[in-house]
Amino acid sequence: MTLGYIFRRLMAVILVLFVVTFAVFAITMILPGNAAVMILGEYGTEEAVAAMERILGLDKPWHIQYIDWLVGVLHGDFGQSLRLSLPVADVVGDAFWNSASLAITALLSVTIIAIPLGALAAIKRGSTA
């Protein structure tokens, strides 16, 4: 494994992450409504919605919104959850540790089962057992 190979793979990962985040951002921009309407509800006045859009930065062009979000993510700021009014990192962090412990348990279980079975298959190569 050469340094060039690792570099190419790393660039591919970065490109895929960029494309996926941009696609998700674009899809949310296409959807009807916005976060300001979601926060204020259907009874929010036009003035209140406009004020909330300014507060949330939704009055900026879409490419500026995406760059602002991307810069925030690169600095570890994932923004605020609109539903819970908590930092997204805190909300996702709780679920992350649950998912990580489940993944580690599954990996250990599979490894404990797979290595002996692989060794047995190598020993009994060519047989039906």
Q: What share of the chain is helix, strand, coil (3-state, %, to 5)?
A: 75, 0, 25
- Residue range 61-71, pLDDT digits in tens: 999 999 999 99
pLDDT in tens, 30-73: 888 788 888 888 788 889 989 998 998 889 999 999 999 999 99
Question: What is the DSSP secondary structure assignment for residue 71, as one 8-state letter?
Answer: H
What pLDDT is attached to residue 129? 62
The pLDDT of 71-79, averaged and rounded, is 90
* Model pLDDT for residues 81-129, shown as the tens digit of each residue: 878 888 998 889 888 989 999 999 999 999 999 999 999 999 988 887 6
Q: Is the pTM of this model over 0.85?
A: no
Per-residue CA distances from 125 to 27, 52, 112, 122 (Å): 52, 68, 20, 5
Q: List the chain domain ranges.
A: 84-129
